Protein backbone atom coordinates (compact mmCIF):
# COMPACT_ATOMS: atom_id res chain seq x y z
CA UNK A 1 0.00 0.00 0.00
CA UNK A 2 1.36 3.41 -0.99
CA UNK A 3 2.08 6.00 1.72
CA UNK A 4 2.01 9.65 0.63
CA UNK A 5 2.46 13.10 2.10
CA UNK A 6 -0.32 15.21 0.59
CA UNK A 7 -1.10 18.90 0.84
CA UNK A 8 -4.58 20.24 1.48
CA UNK A 9 -5.29 22.50 -1.53
CA UNK A 10 -8.98 23.07 -0.83
CA UNK A 11 -11.55 22.86 1.94
CA UNK A 12 -15.32 23.22 1.59
CA UNK A 13 -18.27 22.85 3.95
CA UNK A 14 -20.85 20.51 2.38
CA UNK A 15 -23.37 20.71 5.24
CA UNK A 16 -23.35 21.99 8.82
CA UNK A 17 -21.32 18.97 9.95
CA UNK A 18 -19.66 17.66 6.76
CA UNK A 19 -16.48 19.02 5.17
CA UNK A 20 -14.63 18.06 1.98
CA UNK A 21 -10.86 18.41 1.62
CA UNK A 22 -8.95 18.32 -1.66
CA UNK A 23 -5.54 16.66 -1.29
CA UNK A 24 -2.71 16.71 -3.82
CA UNK A 25 0.99 15.75 -3.89
CA UNK A 26 3.61 18.49 -3.80
CA UNK A 27 5.40 16.74 -6.66
CA UNK A 28 4.43 14.08 -9.17
CA UNK A 29 1.04 12.48 -9.56
CA UNK A 30 -1.31 10.41 -7.44
CA UNK A 31 -1.40 6.61 -7.78
CA UNK A 32 -4.27 5.07 -9.77
CA UNK A 33 -7.56 4.74 -7.92
CA UNK A 34 -10.91 3.07 -8.53
CA UNK A 35 -14.10 4.98 -7.79
CA UNK A 36 -15.38 3.85 -4.40
CA UNK A 37 -12.00 3.02 -2.90
CA UNK A 38 -10.71 4.31 0.43
CA UNK A 39 -7.61 5.90 1.89
CA UNK A 40 -6.29 6.06 5.44
CA UNK A 41 -5.56 9.46 6.97
CA UNK A 42 -2.98 9.78 9.75
CA UNK A 43 -3.24 12.47 12.41
CA UNK A 44 -2.01 13.15 15.92
CA UNK A 45 -4.19 14.12 18.87
CA UNK A 46 -2.54 15.12 22.15
CA UNK A 47 0.65 13.36 21.14
CA UNK A 48 -1.08 10.09 20.23
CA UNK A 49 -1.10 8.87 16.61
CA UNK A 50 -4.44 7.93 15.08
CA UNK A 51 -5.48 6.70 11.66
CA UNK A 52 -8.89 6.30 10.09
CA UNK A 53 -10.13 5.12 6.70
CA UNK A 54 -12.36 7.35 4.58
CA UNK A 55 -13.85 6.81 1.15
CA UNK A 56 -12.66 9.08 -1.62
CA UNK A 57 -15.52 11.18 -2.98
CA UNK A 58 -13.43 12.26 -5.98
CA UNK A 59 -13.55 10.41 -9.29
CA UNK A 60 -10.46 8.71 -10.77
CA UNK A 61 -10.17 11.38 -13.48
CA UNK A 62 -9.90 14.23 -10.93
CA UNK A 63 -6.36 15.67 -10.56
CA UNK A 64 -6.60 15.48 -6.75
CA UNK A 65 -8.14 13.26 -4.09
CA UNK A 66 -11.17 14.48 -2.14
CA UNK A 67 -12.25 13.13 1.23
CA UNK A 68 -15.65 14.11 2.56
CA UNK A 69 -16.00 13.58 6.30
CA UNK A 70 -18.78 14.01 8.84
CA UNK A 71 -17.76 15.29 12.27
CA UNK A 72 -18.58 12.13 14.20
CA UNK A 73 -16.05 10.66 16.61
CA UNK A 74 -12.75 11.85 17.99
CA UNK A 75 -10.61 11.66 14.84
CA UNK A 76 -13.16 13.06 12.38
CA UNK A 77 -13.99 15.95 14.70
CA UNK A 78 -10.28 16.67 15.14
CA UNK A 79 -9.79 16.82 11.37
CA UNK A 80 -12.67 19.29 11.10
CA UNK A 81 -10.93 21.55 13.59
CA UNK A 82 -7.34 21.17 12.47
CA UNK A 83 -6.89 20.28 8.78
CA UNK A 84 -6.65 23.56 6.86
CA UNK A 85 -5.57 24.64 3.38
CA UNK A 86 -1.77 24.45 3.14
CA UNK A 87 -1.42 21.72 5.76
CA UNK A 88 0.17 18.38 4.91
CA UNK A 89 -1.14 15.00 5.99
CA UNK A 90 0.05 11.42 5.62
CA UNK A 91 -2.28 9.31 3.49
CA UNK A 92 -2.10 5.55 2.82
CA UNK A 93 -3.89 3.85 -0.04
CA UNK A 94 -5.94 3.53 -2.05
CA UNK A 95 -7.60 0.22 -1.13
CA UNK A 96 -10.99 -1.47 -1.15
CA UNK A 97 -13.13 -3.74 -3.30
CA UNK A 98 -16.36 -1.69 -3.26
CA UNK A 99 -16.42 -0.23 -6.76
CA UNK A 100 -18.14 -0.62 -10.12
CA UNK A 101 -14.86 -1.52 -11.82
CA UNK A 102 -14.41 -4.64 -9.69
CA UNK A 103 -18.15 -5.40 -9.67
CA UNK A 104 -19.34 -4.21 -13.10
CA UNK A 105 -22.98 -4.06 -14.15
CA UNK A 106 -24.92 -2.28 -16.88
CA UNK A 107 -27.73 -0.86 -14.74
CA UNK A 108 -26.69 -0.12 -11.16
CA UNK A 109 -28.99 0.99 -8.37
CA UNK A 110 -27.12 3.11 -5.84
CA UNK A 111 -28.63 3.29 -2.34
CA UNK A 112 -27.01 5.46 0.32
CA UNK A 113 -27.72 7.28 3.56
CA UNK A 114 -25.82 10.08 5.28
CA UNK A 115 -22.11 10.14 4.48
CA UNK A 116 -22.54 6.79 2.72
CA UNK A 117 -23.13 8.95 -0.34
CA UNK A 118 -19.37 9.49 -0.80
CA UNK A 119 -18.48 6.27 -2.68
CA UNK A 120 -21.73 6.52 -4.64
CA UNK A 121 -20.91 10.04 -5.82
CA UNK A 122 -17.46 8.92 -6.95
CA UNK A 123 -18.85 5.86 -8.75
CA UNK A 124 -21.64 7.86 -10.40
CA UNK A 125 -19.27 10.46 -11.81
CA UNK A 126 -16.81 7.82 -12.97
CA UNK A 127 -19.48 5.71 -14.65
CA UNK A 128 -20.96 8.71 -16.48
CA UNK A 129 -17.51 9.75 -17.68
CA UNK A 130 -17.22 6.30 -19.28
CA UNK A 131 -20.87 5.87 -20.31
CA UNK A 132 -22.70 9.22 -20.55
CA UNK A 133 -25.98 7.48 -21.42
CA UNK A 134 -25.78 4.94 -18.58
CA UNK A 135 -29.05 3.80 -16.97
CA UNK A 136 -28.48 4.52 -13.27
CA UNK A 137 -30.88 4.84 -10.32
CA UNK A 138 -29.66 6.71 -7.24
CA UNK A 139 -31.74 6.88 -4.05
CA UNK A 140 -30.23 8.80 -1.14
CA UNK A 141 -31.67 9.06 2.37
CA UNK A 142 -31.03 11.96 4.75
CA UNK A 143 -32.60 13.57 7.79
CA UNK A 144 -33.47 16.91 6.15
CA UNK A 145 -32.65 19.00 3.06
CA UNK A 146 -29.88 20.68 5.07
CA UNK A 147 -28.23 17.29 5.65
CA UNK A 148 -28.00 16.25 2.00
CA UNK A 149 -24.39 15.96 0.83
CA UNK A 150 -23.74 16.80 -2.85
CA UNK A 151 -27.45 17.58 -3.34
CA UNK A 152 -27.03 20.41 -5.86
CA UNK A 153 -24.26 18.60 -7.72
CA UNK A 154 -26.34 15.44 -8.00
CA UNK A 155 -29.34 17.36 -9.35
CA UNK A 156 -27.16 19.08 -11.97
CA UNK A 157 -25.58 15.80 -13.03
CA UNK A 158 -28.96 14.09 -13.36
CA UNK A 159 -30.26 17.00 -15.45
CA UNK A 160 -27.32 16.64 -17.83
CA UNK A 161 -27.70 12.85 -18.11
CA UNK A 162 -31.26 11.66 -18.89
CA UNK A 163 -30.34 8.08 -18.02
CA UNK A 164 -29.84 9.05 -14.38
CA UNK A 165 -32.90 9.06 -12.16
CA UNK A 166 -32.36 10.14 -8.59
CA UNK A 167 -34.54 10.62 -5.54
CA UNK A 168 -34.03 12.03 -2.05
CA UNK A 169 -35.82 10.31 0.82
CA UNK A 170 -36.04 12.80 3.71
CA UNK A 171 -37.19 12.20 7.28
CA UNK A 172 -37.99 15.90 7.63
CA UNK A 173 -39.13 17.56 4.42
CA UNK A 174 -41.31 20.34 2.97
CA UNK A 175 -44.96 19.48 2.43
CA UNK A 176 -44.50 19.12 -1.33
CA UNK A 177 -41.57 16.67 -1.13
CA UNK A 178 -42.62 13.30 -2.65
CA UNK A 179 -40.47 10.95 -0.55
CA UNK A 180 -40.87 11.52 3.20
CA UNK A 181 -39.87 9.24 6.06
CA UNK A 182 -37.55 6.29 5.65
CA UNK A 183 -37.00 4.18 2.56
CA UNK A 184 -39.78 1.59 2.20
CA UNK A 185 -40.43 -1.37 -0.12
CA UNK A 186 -43.17 0.64 -1.85
CA UNK A 187 -40.72 3.48 -2.54
CA UNK A 188 -38.21 1.02 -3.99
CA UNK A 189 -40.86 -0.55 -6.20
CA UNK A 190 -41.89 2.84 -7.56
CA UNK A 191 -38.41 4.33 -7.98
CA UNK A 192 -36.82 1.15 -9.35
CA UNK A 193 -39.59 -1.06 -10.77
CA UNK A 194 -36.93 -3.19 -12.48
CA UNK A 195 -35.07 -3.68 -9.19
CA UNK A 196 -34.55 -7.42 -9.67
CA UNK A 197 -32.74 -6.77 -12.95
CA UNK A 198 -30.21 -4.42 -11.36
CA UNK A 199 -27.13 -4.78 -9.20
CA UNK A 200 -27.54 -2.83 -5.97
CA UNK A 201 -24.74 -0.91 -4.25
CA UNK A 202 -25.55 -0.10 -0.63
CA UNK A 203 -23.66 2.16 1.77
CA UNK A 204 -24.62 3.96 4.96
CA UNK A 205 -24.89 3.65 8.75
CA UNK A 206 -25.25 0.13 10.13
CA UNK A 207 -28.99 0.41 11.02
CA UNK A 208 -29.76 1.64 7.49
CA UNK A 209 -27.69 -1.13 5.94
CA UNK A 210 -29.42 -3.79 8.02
CA UNK A 211 -32.93 -2.49 7.34
CA UNK A 212 -32.46 -1.94 3.61
CA UNK A 213 -30.54 -5.19 3.17
CA UNK A 214 -33.44 -7.10 4.74
CA UNK A 215 -35.88 -5.16 2.57
CA UNK A 216 -34.03 -6.14 -0.60
CA UNK A 217 -34.06 -9.80 0.40
CA UNK A 218 -37.80 -9.53 1.07
CA UNK A 219 -38.30 -8.05 -2.39
CA UNK A 220 -36.50 -11.02 -3.93
CA UNK A 221 -33.15 -9.52 -4.92
CA UNK A 222 -30.63 -12.36 -5.49
CA UNK A 223 -27.76 -12.27 -3.00
CA UNK A 224 -25.19 -12.01 -5.80
CA UNK A 225 -26.70 -8.71 -6.93
CA UNK A 226 -26.16 -6.90 -3.61
CA UNK A 227 -22.84 -5.19 -2.92
CA UNK A 228 -22.41 -3.23 0.28
CA UNK A 229 -19.97 -1.33 2.41
CA UNK A 230 -20.24 0.03 5.94
CA UNK A 231 -17.36 1.57 7.84
CA UNK A 232 -17.29 1.44 11.61
CA UNK A 233 -18.25 -1.26 14.08
CA UNK A 234 -20.71 -0.90 16.94
CA UNK A 235 -19.09 0.59 20.03
CA UNK A 236 -17.47 -2.22 21.98
CA UNK A 237 -18.92 -2.79 25.44
CA UNK A 238 -17.53 -4.80 28.37
CA UNK A 239 -18.62 -8.43 28.42
CA UNK A 240 -21.11 -9.04 31.27
CA UNK A 241 -20.03 -11.73 33.70
CA UNK A 242 -23.31 -13.59 33.24
CA UNK A 243 -22.95 -14.20 29.50
CA UNK A 244 -21.24 -17.19 27.92
CA UNK A 245 -17.92 -16.27 26.40
CA UNK A 246 -14.63 -17.56 25.07
CA UNK A 247 -11.11 -16.51 26.06
CA UNK A 248 -8.84 -14.51 23.78
CA UNK A 249 -5.23 -14.88 24.96
CA UNK A 250 -2.61 -12.32 23.92
CA UNK A 251 0.56 -14.27 23.17
CA UNK A 252 3.03 -11.48 23.99
CA UNK A 253 1.65 -10.56 27.41
CA UNK A 254 -0.31 -13.66 28.35
CA UNK A 255 -3.32 -11.48 29.16
CA UNK A 256 -6.72 -13.12 28.72
CA UNK A 257 -9.63 -11.15 27.30
CA UNK A 258 -13.27 -12.21 27.25
CA UNK A 259 -14.86 -12.46 23.81
CA UNK A 260 -18.54 -13.09 23.14
CA UNK A 261 -19.78 -15.41 20.41
CA UNK A 262 -20.25 -13.16 17.37
CA UNK A 263 -18.02 -10.39 18.74
CA UNK A 264 -15.03 -9.48 16.58
CA UNK A 265 -11.51 -9.90 17.89
CA UNK A 266 -10.98 -6.15 17.52
CA UNK A 267 -14.14 -5.27 19.45
CA UNK A 268 -13.16 -7.62 22.28
CA UNK A 269 -9.66 -6.13 22.50
CA UNK A 270 -10.97 -2.56 22.55
CA UNK A 271 -13.60 -3.42 25.16
CA UNK A 272 -10.77 -4.71 27.36
CA UNK A 273 -8.77 -1.51 26.91
CA UNK A 274 -6.22 -2.96 24.50
CA UNK A 275 -4.90 -0.81 21.65
CA UNK A 276 -4.71 -2.25 18.14
CA UNK A 277 -4.13 -0.50 14.83
CA UNK A 278 -7.36 -0.42 12.84
CA UNK A 279 -8.35 1.78 9.93
CA UNK A 280 -11.29 0.72 7.76
CA UNK A 281 -12.92 -1.63 10.31
CA UNK A 282 -14.58 -3.35 7.38
CA UNK A 283 -12.11 -6.08 6.49
CA UNK A 284 -10.53 -4.40 3.49
CA UNK A 285 -7.42 -2.42 4.47
CA UNK A 286 -5.41 -5.03 6.38
CA UNK A 287 -4.34 -2.66 9.18
CA UNK A 288 -5.61 -5.02 11.91
CA UNK A 289 -3.82 -8.06 10.52
CA UNK A 290 -2.96 -10.58 13.26
CA UNK A 291 -1.97 -14.22 13.71
CA UNK A 292 -4.34 -16.56 15.51
CA UNK A 293 -4.34 -20.05 16.95
CA UNK A 294 -7.70 -21.67 17.59
CA UNK A 295 -11.04 -21.88 15.84
CA UNK A 296 -12.10 -18.62 14.19
CA UNK A 297 -14.57 -17.46 11.56
CA UNK A 298 -13.48 -14.87 9.00
CA UNK A 299 -16.04 -12.53 7.43
CA UNK A 300 -13.39 -11.08 5.09
CA UNK A 301 -10.21 -12.46 3.54
CA UNK A 302 -9.37 -9.39 1.44
CA UNK A 303 -5.54 -8.83 1.39
CA UNK A 304 -4.94 -12.38 2.74
CA UNK A 305 -3.17 -15.03 0.68
CA UNK A 306 -3.74 -18.78 0.78
CA UNK A 307 -0.55 -19.08 2.83
CA UNK A 308 -1.87 -16.45 5.26
CA UNK A 309 -5.07 -18.39 5.76
CA UNK A 310 -3.20 -21.65 6.33
CA UNK A 311 -0.97 -19.87 8.89
CA UNK A 312 -3.89 -18.51 10.93
CA UNK A 313 -3.58 -14.90 9.76
CA UNK A 314 -6.83 -12.96 10.16
CA UNK A 315 -8.25 -9.44 10.07
CA UNK A 316 -9.30 -8.69 13.64
CA UNK A 317 -12.08 -6.28 12.64
CA UNK A 318 -13.93 -8.95 10.68
CA UNK A 319 -13.09 -12.15 12.52
CA UNK A 320 -15.01 -13.84 15.33
CA UNK A 321 -14.10 -16.66 17.71
CA UNK A 322 -15.76 -20.07 17.70
CA UNK A 323 -13.83 -21.13 20.79
CA UNK A 324 -10.80 -20.04 22.83
CA UNK A 325 -8.24 -18.25 20.65
CA UNK A 326 -4.63 -17.11 21.03
CA UNK A 327 -3.65 -13.96 19.18
CA UNK A 328 -0.42 -12.21 18.22
CA UNK A 329 -0.19 -8.75 16.66
CA distance 292 to 250: 10
On whether residue 234 sits in a domain, the answer given is: no
**Do 200 and 150 sit in the same domain of this protein?**
yes
Q: In angstroms, how far is CA 182 from the centroid of its own chain?
A: 21
117 and 210 together in one domain: yes
pLDDT at position 201 is: 94
Report which of 232, 186, 192, 189 is spatially closest to residue 208, judged by C-alpha positions.
Answer: 232
Picking from 198, 229, 260, the residue at the C-terminal end of a domain is 229
Considering the domain architecture, whether residues 81 and 28 belong to the same structural domain is answered as yes
Taking Cα atoms as reference points, which of 15, 131, 92 lies closest to residue 287? Answer: 92
Residue 163 lies in a domain: yes
d(CA 21, CA 125): 18
pTM: 0.80
Same domain, 120 and 69: no
Task: Give the domain range for residue 180.
Answer: 108-229
Residue 98, pLDDT score: 80
Residues 224 and 250 in one domain: no
Residue 239 lies in a domain: no
Dihedral (CA of 76, 97, 266, 291) sign: negative
Query: What's the CATH code of the domain at 158?
Result: 3.40.50.80
C-beta of residue 126 within 8 angstroms of C-beta of residue 37: no
Q: How is residue 218 annotated by DSSP?
A: H
Q: What is the CATH number of the domain that holds 311?
A: 3.10.20.30
Q: What is the pLDDT of residues 149-159, one digit of tens each?
A: 999 999 999 99
- Spatial strand order of the sheet with 246-250 comes to 256-259, 246-250, 319-328, 289-298, 313-315
Are 158 and 255 in a shared domain? no
Closest CA to 118 of 61, 162, 47, 70: 70
Residue that terminates a domain, selected from 95, 128, 145: 95
pLDDT of residue 237: 46
Residue 102 lies in a domain: no
CATH of the domain at 88: 2.40.30.10
How far is the C-alpha of 286 from the C-alpha of 314, rounded, in Å? 9
> Is 235 part of a structural domain of the chain?
no
Measured CA to CA, the distance from residue 181 to residue 319 in angstroms comes to: 35
Number of domains present in the structure of the chain:
3
Residues 127 and 222 in one domain: yes
50, 44 contact by CB (below 8 A): yes
Q: State residue 51 phi and psi, 5-degree precision.
A: -145, 140
Q: Is residue 262 part of a domain?
A: yes
Q: Is residue 284 part of a domain?
A: yes
Residues 113 and 225 in one domain: yes
Taking the chain (329 residues) in runs of 10, the rounded mean pLDDT of each run is 92 98 95 92 91 92 97 93 98 84 83 95 96 97 97 96 97 94 97 96 88 95 84 47 81 94 92 80 79 92 80 93 94
Determine whether 25 is exposed, middle or buried from the number of CB atoms within 10 Å of its CB (0-12, 13-18, 19+).
middle
For the four alpha carbons of 272, 274, 275 and 276, in that order, the dihedral sign comes to: negative
Residue that finishes a domain, picked among 35, 60, 95: 95
The terminus-to-terminus CA distance of the chain in angstroms comes to 19
Spatial distance between the Cα atoms of 54 and 42, rounded to a whole number of angstroms:
11
236: in domain: no
Of 55, 56, 13, 11, nearest in space to 146 by CA = 13
Please report the beta strands in 77-154, taking only residues with DSSP state E, as ranges in sequence order: 88-95, 108-113, 136-142
Amino acid sequence: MTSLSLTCIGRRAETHDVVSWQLAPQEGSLPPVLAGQCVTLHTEIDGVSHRRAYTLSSAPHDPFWTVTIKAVGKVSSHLHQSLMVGDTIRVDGPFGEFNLSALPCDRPLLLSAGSGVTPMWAMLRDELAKRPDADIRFIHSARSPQDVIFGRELASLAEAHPGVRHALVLEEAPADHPWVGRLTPDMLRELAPDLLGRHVYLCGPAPYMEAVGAMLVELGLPAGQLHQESFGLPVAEPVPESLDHFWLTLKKSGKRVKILPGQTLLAALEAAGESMQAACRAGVCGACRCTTTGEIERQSVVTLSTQDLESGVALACSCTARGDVSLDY
